[in-house]
Amino acid sequence: MGEDKHRPGWVYLMSNAALARNIVKIGLTQVDCMTRMQSVASAHRIPGEWRLEFSAPVRDAFNAEKALHRALDDRRLRWEFFKIPIETAKAELRRITRPWRCTAEEVTTPPTRTGTKYQVLDRATKARNAAAKAVTTRKRRVAARKAVATRNAKKAAPVSAADAEPGATS
């Protein structure tokens, strides 16, 4: 995951009526929150409907979520679940994520990591990158085939008389 996890995304608060009062799931997503809510519903197998209480667009979803989790660590129940009133969680999310806040458009535009800045690539650049990747992949395949052929050739090489078993005649 490496650099990929430090992309723009959303830090969200979700609740479920089947859970005890004031239990909130605080998480991140780099897709839209509704898609994430559906995957949470299937992954956690908690009956009842999940409700998106609040979400904030951030430049670095990983670090923003991490900072929020650390700030609320004393209220953590398990993993991403916290016992905290929703209004308090919203206020904390707004306060903690302030340094990473951005617009929703910055989150929905697919970025490409270049150095320390995000850069949105145009179609021509994407096409050049895809072509370069294809060439590199082809070169790797050719090199792998040559290595296998060389290895097989060495295995199939005829045995010299010196390597023959003792007592065998030529």
- Assess if residue 164 is contained within a domain: no
- Assess if residue 137 is contained within a domain: yes
Q: Check residue 164 and give its pLDDT.
A: 56
Contacts by 88-93, CB closer than 8 A, 24 or more apart: 89/13, 89/24, 89/26, 89/53, 89/54, 90/13, 90/53, 90/54, 92/68, 93/11, 93/13, 93/26, 93/54, 93/56, 93/68
147 and 102 co-located in one domain: no
147 and 94 co-located in one domain: no
86 and 135 co-located in one domain: no
102 and 142 co-located in one domain: no
24 and 93 co-located in one domain: yes
- Assess if residue 38 is contained within a domain: yes
131 and 93 co-located in one domain: no
CA distance 157 to 143: 21
Q: Check residue 88 and give its pLDDT.
A: 93
Domain limits for position 92: 2-110
Q: Check residue 5 and give its pLDDT.
A: 64
- Assess if residue 53 is contained within a domain: yes
23 and 90 co-located in one domain: yes
- Assess if residue 167 is contained within a domain: no
Instruction: Identify the segments of the chain with pLDDT beneath 50.
Output: 1-2, 111-121
- Assess if residue 163 is contained within a domain: no
38 and 79 co-located in one domain: yes
Q: Check residue 167 and give its pLDDT.
A: 58
Q: Check residue 111 and give its pLDDT.
A: 44
98 and 153 co-located in one domain: no
- Assess if residue 115 is contained within a domain: no
Domain count, the chain: 2
47 and 94 co-located in one domain: yes
81 and 150 co-located in one domain: no
pTM assigned to the model: 0.57
